[in-house]
Structure 1
Amino acid sequence: MARTRSKKLELSSETMESHHQQLSTNEGKGKRLWKKVKYQLVEYHSLPAYLRDNEYILGHYRAEWPLKQTLLSIFTIHNETLNVWTHLIGFFIFLSLTIYTASKVPNVVDIHSLHLPDVLKKADLHKIHAELMTSLPSLPNMPDLHKLREELRTSLPSMDMLPSLSGWHVVELLYNCLPERFSHNHTDVCVLRSMKEDVLNMIAPLVTRPITRWPFYVFMGGAMFCLLASSICHLLSCHSERLSYIMLRLDYAGIAALIATSFYPPVYYSFMCDPFFCNLYMGFITILGIATVLFSLLPVFQNPEFRTIRASLFFGMGFSGVAPILHKLFLFWNHPEALHTTGYEILMGAFYGLGALVYATRIPERWMPGKFDIAGHSHQLFHILVVAGAYAHYRAGLVYLRWRDLQGC
């Protein structure tokens, strides 16, 4: 009887232990399954309200993932993958362009310190000689001019004679020998000015005098900030409501910074010789950009129903650039650089405008909901068009730099 009871107790103990083991195994499987399910992509209707932005993208969402998994999701496939990478690649493209352009800045050369014969060796001496001869009129009241004529004829007979010229010999002729005004018969004969301009214009392509680059680099910095902020926003916004709010504010600030800084190169280099209009246009766009950033900080600004207002505000900032461009064309219509840069700026505006239109209308996903969840939806197209527009503006900036480096004001 006792043995039977003992045996029953042993069986009961074994059964309990087996049951506990089964529960432990099931709990472990449940945890692994929950962990697996927890980081699975979800559909639009399962999202918390703050992540619902585009009802035409139906699936492949990340929702409230831990920060580690959110960061690692940059290497996985979801509906934000291409949004992250299109602008992240764009950021590295513009970083490379900035470094490359900075490395190509020509050396500063002071024309007053040049060894002029060495420079003139590379120039067309026969042309310079002809220009100097025609720049010196025959004035009966100025006998010294005839002497100077003969000196120039003997000093610049050919390129072979240049090594015998001292560095300052021609400079003294140009700067010291001739007065700018002859007042014997109240007639202005600007011989020195004419000679100096003719010679310097001929050797200007050989003498590099780079102007300030800061407006160009301000634009490049604004472009890089916009692209990097956008990438970070699309990567981290799914973590939590608070972080999503911060990231969206950063994204809108980046867009405003890109648009505002895009004005700096065309305005500065077009009106660098007219400080009033230069300061007027740059001040206006700077104030407008700051106002847009402050308005974007309002919580209501991120609601989906304000999508069209957001796009319109940014479009309006870009459209305000029409005034300085038209003004530039009016002032420099005969300069090919003005037309060249305007072409790039029209192309940039077309890319930005088309991007804003696609963003606001949510094309093409609105035509086939769910078909463009991973690739091809409006925000990805918007990102590509923004990078293309910024690159067109970069090309315009290079034209501005070459123009002003060679011609100055």
Structure 2
Amino acid sequence: MNQAHTGGVSRRNPERSVLRESCGSSIIMDHCGQHHHHHSWKIAAGGGFAPWKVLAKGGGVDDQKEVMANRVFYEGSKKAAGRRYSLVTFKELPEYMKDNEYILGYYRANWPLGEAFFSLFRWHNETLNVWTHLIGFLVFVGLTVANLVELPQVADLLSLFTRSNSTTADTNVSYNSKELLLGAKSFIDLKNITMGQESMRLMTVPLSAATTRWPFFVFLGGSMFCLLSSSTCHLFCCHSHHLNLLLLRMDYVGIAIMIITSFFPPIYYIFQCDPHWQLVYLGGITAMGVFTIATLLSPALSTAKFRTFRAMLFSSMGFFGVVPAVHACVVNWSNPQRPITLAYELVMALSYLTGTAFYVARVPERWRPGWFDLTGHSHQIFHVFVIMGALAHYGAALVFLEWRDKMGCGN
């Protein structure tokens, strides 16, 4: 059959050539007889321009060709300006983005920065990776502000669970008095409350003046940097190869900084009366962190091939904490707060190790490729465990801080 259905125009005519070119350039019309590509749009739908109607109206072939071509390009430019970038499959990704072959779809690739930013409010396989750590970042911002403006009733929320574990009645009285002072000092007339000497000291001495707070805020700052850098990486890593590598390195640096700064509150406050051990342990973990950061700044080590190696580096930094932890238990064996802090730190360690195990093993998506593309894959689980571990360590840091407020080096 040599004639088309549009006004008897030959398939070799220029009009049909234009249509074939349109079909091959992602401008797919209803009459092309092809499936719609992810990046396509319909011109003929909804009262749009239908080229066969122009051809059927008569007129010279050249006139029809010009009208049709101008209208196609006009409609194409108008609709392309407002189109949303579509998601692609793992096979369609550029090589530098192929990290997890068990997540089969819902990827963003080579998106402009503006589109990448607004994908914060779209559903793709990085949405929960972005939001888990973004919410964690906001939580730690809130905790930091609460401590800076001295709102202990908010900042000490986690530590309230530890104060009921005191071993003596006198200790309970002291803790209850402190809770009353810290949690409701702006609502209750403190002059009408009969308090012991310890409670009077807590009322008259500003909380921030009792013990230096900078190690505590170093930890909070490191946690915020890690969570924000991770969230930023997952949001914008789809832009380009160069930015992808840069953000991945920033993400790894953030993890290392979070691990380093986590050591500051326990080591500083436990060994506050022995600065020699402060220097040894804090210097040791800082040196390990700097080595890890320098190693991971290599572009080659940012690839999926070295996933296990990166996890081993971060885990080795965490296991370094076993040495000062054992030392601290020996030094503070008679401290009634020791079981509480150990419980917090055990929760932190288990959270980090469990999250790392999911990260390395790539489960559950390994068992059912494609089932967990949007929700429930290993990296999202890893993020949740990181936040749990950070909050557990925050609880331990509050206990250390409270203990050092009460106990001087002479006690």
TM-score if structure 1 supplies the norm length? 0.71
Alignment of 1:347 with 2:347, yes or no, is yes
Partner of 2:147: 101
Cα offset, 1:101, TM superposition:
1.7
Once residues 39 and 374 of structure 1 are traced to their aligned partners in structure 2, the CA distance between those partners, rounded to angstroms, is 17
Q: Deviations over 1:108-165 (max 9, x none)?
A: xxxxxxxxxxxxxxxx9xxxxxxxxxxxxxxxxxxxxxxxxxxxxxxxxxxxxxxxxx
Cα offset, 1:351, TM superposition:
0.4
Partner of 1:59: 105
Tell me the amino acid that sits aligned with residue 255 of structure 2.
I
May I ask how many residue pairs the two structures share in their alignment?
308
| Contact residue 222 and residue 254 of structure 1 kept, 8 A | yes
Distance 1:35 1:367, change over 3 A: farther
Name the SS for the 1:336 alignment partner: coil
Q: Deviations over 1:67-86 (max 9, x none)?
A: 11111111111110110110
Q: Deviations over 1:225-284 (max 9, x none)?
A: 000000000011110000001000100000000011000001000000001111100000
Once residues 32 and 381 of structure 1 are traced to their aligned partners in structure 2, the CA distance between those partners, rounded to angstroms, is 42
| Contact residue 204 and residue 406 of structure 1 kept, 8 A | no
- % identical equivalent positions: 47
Partner of 1:134: none
Distance 1:332 1:221, change over 3 A: same
Once residues 408 and 354 of structure 1 are traced to their aligned partners in structure 2, the CA distance between those partners, rounded to angstroms, is 37
Which is higher, the Rg of structure 1 or of structure 2? 1
Cα offset, 1:399, TM superposition:
0.6
Once residues 81 and 404 of structure 1 are traced to their aligned partners in structure 2, the CA distance between those partners, rounded to angstroms, is 41
Cα offset, 1:34, TM superposition:
6.4
Once residues 309 and 106 of structure 2 are traced to their aligned partners in structure 1, the CA distance between those partners, rounded to angstroms, is 27
Once residues 228 and 222 of structure 2 are traced to their aligned partners in structure 1, the CA distance between those partners, rounded to angstroms, is 10
Partner of 2:67: 21
Give 1:222-233 correspondences, 5 Å limit: 222-233=222-233
Cα offset, 1:17, TM superposition:
2.4
Larger relative contact order (Cα-Cα within 8 Å, sequence gap ≥ 6):
1
Partner of 2:264: 264
Gaps of 5+ in 1: 1-10, 107-123, 125-198
Cα offset, 1:207, TM superposition:
5.4
Distance 1:73 1:364, change over 3 A: same
Tell me the amino acid that sits aligned with residue 223 of structure 1.
S
Give 1:351-366 correspondences, 5 Å limit: 351-366=351-366
Partner of 1:333: 333
Q: Deviations over 1:187-239 (max 9, x none)?
A: xxxxxxxxxxxx97796556545100000000000000000000000011110
Tell me the amino acid that sits aligned with residue 112 of structure 2.
P
Once residues 113 and 198 of structure 2 are traced to their aligned partners in structure 1, the CA distance between those partners, rounded to angstroms, is 62
| Contact residue 329 and residue 339 of structure 1 kept, 8 A | no
Give 1:129-278 correspondences, 5 Å limit: 208=205, 210-278=210-278
Partner of 2:317: 317
Once residues 151 and 204 of structure 2 are traced to their aligned partners in structure 1, the CA distance between those partners, rounded to angstroms, is 13
| Contact residue 259 and residue 317 of structure 1 kept, 8 A | yes
Once residues 118 and 366 of structure 2 are traced to their aligned partners in structure 1, the CA distance between those partners, rounded to angstroms, is 30
Once residues 201 and 59 of structure 1 are traced to their aligned partners in structure 2, the CA distance between those partners, rounded to angstroms, is 61
Partner of 2:403: 403
Q: Deviations over 1:58-114 (max 9, x none)?
A: 0000000111111111111111011011000100000001111222278xxxxxxxx
Cα offset, 1:12, TM superposition:
8.6
Once residues 45 and 312 of structure 1 are traced to their aligned partners in structure 2, the CA distance between those partners, rounded to angstroms, is 29
Moved more, 15-24 or 383-392: 15-24
| Contact residue 87 and residue 387 of structure 1 kept, 8 A | yes
Alignment of 1:40 with 2:86, yes or no, is yes
Partner of 2:389: 389
Distance 1:37 1:55, change over 3 A: farther
Once residues 403 and 370 of structure 1 are traced to their aligned partners in structure 2, the CA distance between those partners, rounded to angstroms, is 50
Once residues 359 and 206 of structure 1 are traced to their aligned partners in structure 2, the CA distance between those partners, rounded to angstroms, is 47
More helix by share: 1
Partner of 2:305: 305
Q: Deviations over 1:321-366 (max 9, x none)?
A: 0111111111111112222111101110000010111000001100
Partner of 2:371: 371
Tell me the amino acid that sits aligned with residue 83 of structure 1.
N
Name the SS for the 1:277 alignment partner: helix
Distance 1:32 1:319, change over 3 A: farther
Gaps of 5+ in 2: 1-56, 153-169, 171-195
Name the SS for the 1:61 alignment partner: coil
Cα offset, 1:37, TM superposition:
7.9
Distance 1:68 1:331, change over 3 A: same
Tell me the amino acid that sits aligned with residue 349 of structure 1.
A
